[in-house]
Amino acid sequence: MNTTSAEYWTCAGQRSDAGTAESSSTAQDSTSIGTTVPYAAAGPGYAGEWALFCDYTTATSQPTLPTTVAALTGFLTTLPARPATVARRVRAIAAAHRRAGHLLQRPDIGPAAPPIPPQQLPLLAGPGPMIAACPTRGWPHGLHGRRDAFLTVLTTSLALPYPVARTLTPTAIVTGIADDQLTDCDVDDDTDCLVAIAGQTVAQDVDPRECPACAVVRWLDILGTLDGLGRGSARMDLVTAHAPTADTPHTHRPKSPHRWRDAATLLPAIDQHGWLDDYRPITTRTMRTRMARTSDRAAQPVSEGEPPPGTAGVPFTAPAARQSFGPTAPALDEVLTVLDGVADDVDALNARIQALLNADH
């Protein structure tokens, strides 16, 4: 090659951006060891990116397929681009190696480094305070809160990975068993009943607000109502429900009939208005977000003698909201109670309007 390096890179960049058919249909001598690598080795979708890499290795007398860490790092350093473009070039080089039966060697750091697998973030609080921080009544925050508490049990108390937790079905749950797990528990005493999920026994706590077994049963009950009877029935149950207190009896056995057994998944996707997507489970991204919010909510400082935020009588108020509205900011429970009343008034007004319309006909 007789052109200067500056002239060469200008031409190479123009040819790559143009994506000409000639670069994807011809074979060029692109390595310093005399091997011939076609520009289409990475596939038709990466022809331009792979051709640019071949031209670089040819000009610098470095191996192309398989390449080296030095060649890959030098290529990305010599030809800087936007992060999205750099990522696409790395994918093109990796695709060519994969199609040829090679494993692309990557540096430990830099844009060509292998992606870090997603991990569950460390939580700021234990499972008990996190469960207690989840609302159990009201619409639709009570619905989301019960699902968050159930998610906390799965991922924190039972230590199930997110991909495993989101695919659980009702067949993974066993309820109403005694300590020996061979006989049914006492029908008059729920404290002797055990709940097992995916072969693991769910722990119990003295405080019903922080009890993992109670959290599981609360979610199963409302899931059965939502999936079996519909959104209106679930809303009515949550609006009339009472938040658990330290003196509330434990509930370790779901109510009959067990409609939740007919649900397609234990962690369905639910939008902000409470609409259920029967067959689509919650995504792992949403699971991480919900767990982070629950952990942050449970980690808020609480005065001595007060129950955790979000429990009966002491709902959680975001710090930003407290700073914005000052010390007289209304509690979240008060706001939700007002909204529930407004929703009931709207329903009554709609019913009255419908009755008047029917009378006119």
3-state secondary structure 205-265: CCCCCCCHHHHHHHHHHHHHHHHHCCHHHHHHHHHHCCCCCCCCCCCCCCCCCCHHHHCCC
Q: Give the model's pLDDT for residue 333.
A: 59
**In 263-331, which ranges are continuous DSSP H helix?**
284-298, 319-325
User: Distances from the Cα of 180 to the Cαs of 47, 170, 177, 183, 194, in angstroms?
Assistant: 64, 22, 8, 7, 10
* Rounded CA separation 49/183 (Å): 65
Q: Give the model's pLDDT for residue 212.
A: 93
| Structural contact between residues 76 and 42, judged by C-beta atoms closer than 8 angstroms | no
Q: Give the model's pLDDT for residue 72.
A: 86
Q: How far is CA 302 from the centre of its chain?
A: 28
List strand residue ranges (DSSP E) for 109-193, in order.
173-177
Q: Give the model's pLDDT for residue 277.
A: 86
pLDDT tens per residue across all 361 residues of the chain: 443 333 333 333 334 343 433 333 333 433 333 344 555 565 667 778 888 888 888 888 888 888 888 888 888 888 888 888 888 888 888 888 888 788 777 777 776 776 665 555 555 567 889 999 999 999 999 999 999 999 999 999 899 999 999 999 999 998 877 654 545 565 555 666 888 999 899 999 999 999 999 999 999 999 999 999 999 999 999 999 999 998 889 888 898 889 999 999 999 999 888 898 888 899 888 898 898 888 888 877 544 344 444 443 444 444 444 444 444 555 665 666 667 667 767 777 777 787 788 776 5
* Rounded CA separation 178/194 (Å): 6
Query: Residue 188 gets which letter from DSSP?
Result: T
Q: Which residues contact 188 (CB under 8 A, 6 or more apart)?
A: none
Q: Which contiguous run of DSSP H or E holds residue 269?
A: strand 268-270
H helices, E strands: number in the chain: 13, 7
